[in-house]
């Protein structure tokens, strides 16, 4: 096959749909590919025909020019697809299988993978632990906002759906298993959410809404979502969450109006490094705001789940320290209150099978809760633009017209 249409980063504020090389079972050179990975053989991999692939807030950080992503990088790490070719070392995955792809690439062989820490695999990125498709500094594995995609270590990485027809009927839910549903669940779970918990989630974007859905699934008594965006707050209320408009000031007062006390048992940061201030400062970027406010909001002995992205290189940061990921965090507050923190990539494989079962057995409607919205691959630039402007939608790209 000659080509492969894909969403490509063209510089700050711009993406386009271009033809990139059709994937093979060997890593080729290209934008963002680590030189040590060029020529890497992938006999354990498969080629997927991409059925659905989603636009993620993490992609948006790159497109805004807030990372060191190179021009020409093929984007996309949320992939669901049908296997159309298998490598000679693939034993259990077969041509025709419909599968979810964890966004973090892992080998299944290293110490971290064997301990379930698949977000920090030691063997797939020559620069540092952890890797992902179509993402800056993640080893150069080509992105999956495309017609076809390569998945390495397929027997280990892929989650096969047990029934293709059943899966296609629920594809707008199942497509969230590659990233945001496990990531939101990871945030709520590592924050200690359990039956009867009160939970505050900072951010009503798709990951925040997935975290809110997950907190409900875990049995929380009250789930409160804070944001600046009225449309996104309305989406949170549509499935039973309480909401806080942080443009009106510190969330503690509004939380107290809801709960009777100005604190919660558990807190989740689903915002990350592009956080803005509260109240009168809401229009100004203040990257430590969310972390500091969550430490104030969380009861002593509680925990913070931090699936929101923080980076070590941000060319557009508000100050020199933030440009290298150094934020003014009140660690003394966290220490004094004995708070626990969990950061980093979600280890998707820890959760995705159980969340698949919850979807297939009608225990959760994650696609509805995040307002999954299907658009053709050709319209990806519009999806990126509208998402960047605050649309309360989770855009799902349909490369082959299989979702309509």
pLDDT (0 to 100) of residue 263: 98
Instruction: List the CATH number of the domain containing 174.
Output: 3.90.180.10
Chosen domain end from 324, 343, 362: 343
What would the pLDDT profile of 342-401 be if each residue is shown by its tens digit?
A: 999 999 999 999 999 999 999 999 999 999 999 999 999 999 999 999 999 999 999 999
Q: Are 215 and 319 contained in the same domain?
A: yes
* Separation of CA 37 from chain center: 24
- CA separation for the pair 283, 294 (Å, rounded): 19
Q: Look-up: residue for tokens 């963002």? A: 32
Confidence category of residue 250, pLDDT binned at 50, 70, 90: confident
Residue 404 lies in a domain: no
Find out whether 67 and 57 touch, Cβ atoms under 8 Å. no
Distance of alpha carbon 218 from alpha carbon 203, whole angstroms = 19
Is the domain of 95 the same as that of 70?
Answer: yes
Q: Of 99, 84, 81, which Cα lies nearest the Cα of 144?
A: 81
The reported pLDDT for the residue numbered 3 is: 83
Tell me, yes or no, whether 209 and 220 share the same domain: yes
Q: Are residues 319 and 270 in the same domain?
A: yes
The pLDDT, as a whole number, for residue 60 is: 92
- Residue at a domain's end among 343, 367, 386: 343
Domain that holds residue 376: 4-179+347-398
- Give me 55's structure tokens: 């636009």
Tell me, rounded to whole angstroms, the distance of Cα 116 from its chain centroid. 18
**Which residue, 314, 343, 372, sits at the end of a domain?**
343
Q: Rounded distance, CA 131 to CA 42, Å?
A: 15
* pLDDT per residue as tens digits for the range 262-284: 999 999 999 998 888 888 767 78
- The rounded distance, in Å, linking the Cα atoms of 97 and 112 is 28
% the chain with pLDDT above 90: 86
Question: Which of 217, 289, 222 shows the shortest CA–CA distance to 249?
Answer: 289
* Pair 160, 212 in one domain: no
| Structure-token pair, residue 29 | 């050179």
Task: Say what angle helices 206-217 and 180-190 make with each other, to 10 degrees.
Answer: 60
pLDDT exceeds cutoff 60 at 1: no
How many structural domains comprise the chain? 2
Q: What is the pLDDT of residue 282?
A: 74
In Å, how far from its chain's centre is CA 35?
Answer: 26
Specify the pLDDT at position 89.
Answer: 98
In a domain, 288, yes or no: yes
What integer pLDDT is reported at residue 261 of this predicted model? 98
Q: What pLDDT, on the 0 to 100 scale, is given for residue 187?
A: 98
Q: Answer yes or no: do 26 and 67 share one domain.
A: yes
Per-residue pLDDT, averaged over 230-244, amounts to 98
Within-domain flag for 315: yes
Residues 232 and 301 grouped into a single domain: yes
Please indicate, yes or no, whether residues 223 and 326 belong to a single structural domain of this protein. Answer: yes
Q: Would you say residue 152 has pLDDT above 80?
A: yes
Residue-wise pLDDT tens digits, 161-186: 999 999 999 999 999 999 999 999 99
Residue 120, C-beta contacts closer than 8 angstroms, at least 6 positions apart: 112, 129, 130, 344, 345
Helix 206-217, helix 230-237: angle, nearest 10: 20
Q: What is the pLDDT of residue 275?
A: 87
- The pLDDT, as a whole number, for residue 233 is 98
Q: Are residues 379 and 302 in the same domain?
A: no
In a domain, 37, yes or no: yes
Q: What residues form DSSP beta bridges with 222?
A: 198
Specify the residue for token string 């009160």.
198
**What letters, b where the CB count within 10 A reaches 16 and e where it falls short, cover 348-380?**
bbbbbeebbebbbeeebbbbebbbbbbbbbeeb
Q: What is the rounded CA–CA span in Å between residue 225 and residue 209?
A: 8
CA–CA gap between residue 82 and residue 319 (Å, rounded): 45
Give the pairing type, strands 15-20 and 4-9: antiparallel
Model pLDDT, residue 298: 98
Length of the chain: 404
The order of strands in the sheet holding 198-202 is 242-245, 222-227, 198-202, 264-269, 298-306, 340-343
Q: Which two tokens stand for residue 45?
A: 């991999």
CA dihedral 62, 66, 71, 77 (to 10 degrees): -20
Cα-Cα end-to-end distance for the chain: 25
Residue-level pLDDT at 2:
61
164 located within any domain: yes
CA distance 50 to 397: 10
Say if residue 16's pLDDT is above 80: yes
pLDDT at 394: 97
Q: What are the tens digits of pLDDT across the range 201-213?
A: 999 999 999 999 9
- For residue range 119-148, what is the model confidence (pLDDT) as tens digits? 999 999 999 999 999 999 898 899 999 999
d(CA 275, CA 267) in angstroms, rounded, equals 16
Give per-residue pLDDT as tens, 27-84: 999 998 889 999 999 999 999 999 999 999 999 999 999 998 999 999 999 999 999 9
- 30 shares a domain with 156: yes
325 shares a domain with 385: no
Same domain, 222 and 359: no
Asked whether the predicted pLDDT for residue 297 surpasses 90, the reply is yes
β-pair partners for 304: 267, 341
* CATH number for position 298: 3.40.50.720
Task: Give me the pLDDT at residue 314, please.
Answer: 85
Give the integer Cα–Cα distance in Å for 211 and 232: 14
Give domain status of residue 60, yes or no. yes
Answer yes or no: are the C-beta atoms of 178 and 64 closer than 8 Å.
no
Residue 283 is predicted with a pLDDT of: 73
Write the pLDDT tens digit of every residue in 302-336.
999 999 989 888 888 888 988 998 999 999 999 99
Place of tokens 């789930």: 223
In a domain, 39, yes or no: yes
Residue 221 in this model has a pLDDT that exceeds 70: yes
Domain annotation covers residue 403: no
272: left (phi over 0), alpha (psi -120 to 50) or beta: left
CA distance 249 to 323: 26
């Amino acid at each position: 096959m000659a080509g492969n249409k894909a969403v490509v980063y063209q510089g700050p504020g711009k993406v386009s749909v271009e033809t990139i090389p059709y994937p093979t079972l060997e890593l080729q050179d290209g934008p963002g590919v680590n030189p040590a990975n060029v020529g890497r053989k992938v006999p354990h991999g498969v080629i997927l025909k991409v059925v659905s692939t989603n636009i993620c807030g993490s992609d948006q950080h790159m497109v805004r020019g807030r990372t060191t992503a190179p021009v020409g990088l093929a984007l996309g790490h949320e992939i669901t697809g049908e296997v159309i070719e298998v490598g000679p070392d693939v034993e259990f995955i077969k041509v025709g299988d419909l599968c979810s792809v964890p966004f973090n690439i892992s080998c299944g062989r290293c110490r971290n993978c064997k301990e379930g820490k698949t977000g920090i695999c030691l063997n797939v990125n020559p620069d540092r632990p952890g890797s992902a498709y179509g993402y800056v500094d993640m080893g150069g594995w080509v992105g999956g906002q495309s017609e076809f995609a390569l998945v390495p270590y397929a027997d280990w990485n892929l989650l096969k759906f047990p029934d293709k027809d059943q899966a296609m009927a629920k594809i707008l839910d199942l497509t969230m298993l590659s990233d945001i549903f496990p990531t939101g669940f990871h945030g709520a779970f590592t924050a200690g959410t359990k039956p009867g918990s009160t939970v505050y989630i900072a951010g009503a974007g798709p990951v925040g809404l997935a975290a809110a859905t997950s907190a409900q699934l875990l049995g929380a008594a009250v789930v409160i979502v804070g944001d600046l965006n009225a449309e996104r707050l309305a989406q949170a209320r549509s499935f039973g969450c309480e909401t806080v408009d942080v443009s009106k000031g510190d969330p503690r007062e509004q939380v107290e109006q809801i709960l009777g006390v100005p604190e919660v048992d558990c807190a989740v940061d689903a915002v990350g490094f592009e956080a803005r201030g509260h109240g009168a400062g809401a229009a100004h970027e203040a990257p430590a705001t969310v972390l500091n406010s969550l430490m104030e909001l969380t009861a002593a002995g509680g925990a913070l789940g931090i699936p929101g992205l923080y980076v070590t290189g941000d060319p557009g940061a508000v100050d020199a320290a933030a440009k290298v990921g150094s934020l003014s965090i009140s660690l003394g507050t966290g220490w004094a209150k004995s708070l626990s923190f969990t950061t980093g990539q979600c280890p998707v494989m820890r959760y995705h099978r159980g969340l698949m079962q919850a979807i297939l057995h009608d225990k959760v409607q994650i696609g509805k809760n995040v307002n999954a919205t299907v658009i053709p691959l050709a319209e990806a630039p519009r999806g990126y633009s509208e998402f960047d402007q605050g649309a309360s939608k989770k855009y799902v790209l349909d490369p082959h017209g299989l979702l309509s």
